[in-house]
Amino acid sequence: MNKTIGFAGLGNMGLPMALKLVDDGYKVRVWNRSPEKCVVLSDRGATPVPEPAAIAEPGGIVISMLADDTAVEDTTLGENGILSRLGADGVHVSMSTISPAAAARLAEAHDMVGACYVAAPVFGRPEAAKAGKLWIVVAGPEQAKQRVETVFDVLGQGSFDFGEKPEKANVVKLVGNFLIASAMEAMAEAFTLAEKHGIDRREIAELFSRTLFPCPIYQNYGKAIAENHHEPARFKLSLGLKDLDLVLKSAAAGTMPMPLADLLYNRFITSVAKGRAEIDWTGLALAVSEDAGLT
């Protein structure tokens, strides 16, 4: 098997993912908008390149892990973009959280040149990416998915297949992020209610994360919310705002009201307006405490 792969996007998630591929023996060509991010990978044996097109080899495999629709489309479709070189039979695995509409546009653009577009957004924090323990949501052409199975085995602890239309994987990712944000809001309100009645919020978090809700979201996110520990950001609050915006746009496209998503969107936009865009998205809990008169 050819263990050469291209990788675009070395943010909080992309960097540990690319390092995991290098450690597994892949020859990785890397590109990032800020070239200094490539230094760590270069020191480990990866090859930095000056433009997105250069990560691809005709008919090869590339992965992108980028911030939003614009970043993915510019990196893929722009001048010197991935698609200008990937060519027939190439596979582009987009692991970013983007809109279903953008995924559909990208899939169509790949079809026009005979390449395959696979959507594979992930659930997991940077530490899970470093350990190869991500959960991967996959949708795209069957033959392409089979071709990248071994890559998913390196990066994740399991994958879930949602068919051949890439945009479906992005709907699932947005649904998941909506559920996470909803849990964070619920924890923030519950912990703050306890605090207002003189109960240590950390004790409440420990109780419920060990009993009724013994799962990673309540254990890890709950601990951060209980302790008001939101820096350094593993997932920036501004990205949470972006995702809730995508949730509401997807809801509108499906003619579906989502009142809780509206509340969460306003919680995020209020937090950004207060200068919290760069902290972790668990920081939405600070606004709950402030509304209750707590500092």
User: Is the distance from CB of 52 to CB of 33 less than 8 angstroms?
Assistant: no
Dihedral pair phi/psi, residue 157, rounded to 5°: -95, -5
SS3 per-residue string spanning 60-82: CEEEECCCCHHHHHHHHHCCCCC
Annotated catalytic residue within 173, 223, 236, 249: 173
Listed in sequence order, the DSSP H helices in the chain are 14-23, 39-43, 69-77, 83-86, 100-112, 126-131, 142-147, 149-155, 166-196, 201-210, 216, 222-226, 237-253, 259-273, 284-291
Report d(CA 187, CA 196) in Å as an integer.
14
Q: How far is CA 145 from the centre of its chain?
A: 19
Report residue 98 as tokens. 């983007």
Q: How far is CA 272 from the centre of its chain?
A: 19
| The token pair that represents 107 in the structure block | 């899939």
173 catalytically annotated: yes
Neighbouring residues of 1: CB distance < 8 A, sequence distance ≥ 6: 150
Give catalytic residues, as residue numbers: 173
